[in-house]
Amino acid sequence: MQTNMDTRESTAFGRAMILATMALATMLYAMSLTIVNVALPQLQGALSATQDQISWVVTLNVVATGVATPMTGWAVARLGRRPLLLGAVIGFTISTLLCATATTLETLLIYRMAQGAFGAPLMPLAQAIILDTYPKHQHAMANSVFGMSVVVGPAIAPSIGGYLTEVYDWRWTFILIVPLCLVALLGVWAFIKDAGKQQGIRLDWTGFLALSISVACLQIMLDRGERLDWFETPEIVVIAALMALTFYIFVVHTVTTDRPFINPRLFTNRNFTIGLVLVFVYGMLNLTPTVLLPSMLQGLKGYPDSLIGTLLATRGLGMVLGFVCAARMGKLDPRIGMTVGIVCIGISGWSMATFDLSVPAATVGWIGALQGFGCGMLWVPLSVVTFATLPAKLLPEGAGVFHLIRNFGSSISIALSVMAVVRTTKVNYAELTEVVSPYNEALNFDTVTGLWQLDSVGGLAAIAGEIARQATMIGYNNAFLLYTVACFSSLAFVMIVKIKR
């Protein structure tokens, strides 16, 4: 087995190549989360999907990542880190290529779940390898480079994806990643050494399967409930019952078995438990705008994909700036940085909740930058506070649960936000059409009769289209209002965090 000392005796060039390889592999996975968002409107038309169905392209990928992430420690112990990395990169490359060949929504969703599952070990494993490769006095530098690569990928991905989608089609958002995956694969093959396997580590399959089924059922219920009229449909009733049963099995098994999938001792640590609540909210706040904004900007404003990608990229630039500021505030009370981050995100959410059909592109851009800045500011102190008082022996398990909850928050928030848009759009359309009547004097004004005439089919179609646009805009406003409420409600938890001096 290779020891830490053996690894650290490698040359500076070898350490740099390991850092570059791990940063590239993790950046590609992070890019796969955001680069497809700008292509969602085109995907919706190409695959004949509804708005709630096309959101599965993001949510199922996130769910697969969240469920597979806690398995990383067990997989490393059974396979070794080099074989696991090779298998993860190869699987991620193949599934990414398959995403580009999908011809139906069902096959694309399967490939996206595979992409998320194979990409799940990359981030925790890459961070562990980097810390194992560099001596302690260089950990800060290595983590900074690694962290920036994770941020830069999602920052530039939307603009590149928007350009490729507009010039070619949505398939190129996946094809772009494949050559870079091959470079990462060569780097893993050439520079990553195996640290050996560990004996005696097993996976609690009962807990893992019960939690996986429960999470999948909840996601399906939220995604399909609105379209199937919720519990009026037997399918939703069965899914809800299966979710409750498997979650009950998971809880009972966790508190009765000796080595559960998730160690219940983690939740006896106050900071860690509060951190899980906050990272759940962070997951809700991080990805939701990148899913809602592309469909809103293209469907209601008619923006081209390249412009949408540029506007989403401003969020990534704001996040880079947020990370830099958070690093410089490292010696301050972490609650200050967390509060600043939450307030910035909340302000951006409230601003998005006031959007109308005449909102300029520049406004969308700076609000996105503010939202990204808040996410960058919040993430660093949140990570520090969550693990500040957790015993060292519980850190590996804690990290897996931490990222599981973050991904779970993202998938739940996306599903709830899309549901809010779809449901409130229908409600507002019904309410707005009630005022369309020959007896409404406002419709007889000269400024109105030129476009909307109630005595012709064309006039009725025009006013119906405008009502649909206004109702949809209100639906997005409601979703962003829900986003804002979730953000500001998390401030109460920041105040009860215990600071380790």
Tens of pLDDT, residues 151-180: 667 667 777 777 777 778 788 888 888 888
CATH code (residue 188) = 1.20.1250.20
User: Where in the sequence is the domain holding 358, given as residue range(s)?
Assistant: 266-425+477-501
Are 190 and 335 in the same domain?
no
* The pLDDT of residue 31 is above 60: yes
Per-residue pLDDT tens over the stretch 339-376: 899 999 999 999 999 988 888 888 888 998 999 899 88
Greatest extent of the chain over all pairs of C-alpha atoms, in Å:
85
Q: What's the number of domains the chain is made of?
A: 4
Strand ranges in 106-181 using DSSP code E only, listed in sequence order: none
Are 339 and 452 in the same domain?
no
| pLDDT of res. 7 | 42
CB 379 within 8 A of CB 185: no
| pLDDT of res. 151 | 66
Are 16 and 149 in the same domain?
yes
| pLDDT of res. 346 | 92
Are 223 and 157 in the same domain?
no
| pLDDT of res. 136 | 66
Burial-class residue 190 by CB neighbours within 10 Å (0-12, 13-18, 19+): exposed
Structure tokens at 399: 């990290």
Are 352 and 222 in the same domain?
no
Of 260, 278, 293, the last residue of a domain is 260
Are 351 and 498 in the same domain?
yes
* The pLDDT of residue 383 is above 70: yes
| pLDDT of res. 140 | 60
Are 402 and 316 in the same domain?
yes
Nearest of 414, 324, 468 to residue 54 by alpha carbon = 414
Q: Is this model's pTM higher than 0.85 or not?
A: no
Per-residue pLDDT tens over the stretch 32-79: 877 777 777 788 778 887 766 777 787 788 778 877 877 777 777 777
What percent of the chain has pLDDT above 90? 7
CB 24 within 8 A of CB 182: no
The band of 4, judged by pLDDT with boundaries at 50, 70 and 90, is very low
Are 320 and 340 in the same domain?
yes
330 Cβ contact list (under 8 Å, min separation 6): 380
| pLDDT of res. 8 | 42
Are 296 and 397 in the same domain?
yes
Give the dihedral sign, CA 303/305/309/312: positive
Per-residue pLDDT tens over the stretch 135-153: 766 666 676 677 667 666 7
Lowest mean pLDDT segment, chosen from 35-44, 373-382, 469-478: 35-44
Per-residue pLDDT tens over the stretch 98-112: 988 888 888 888 998
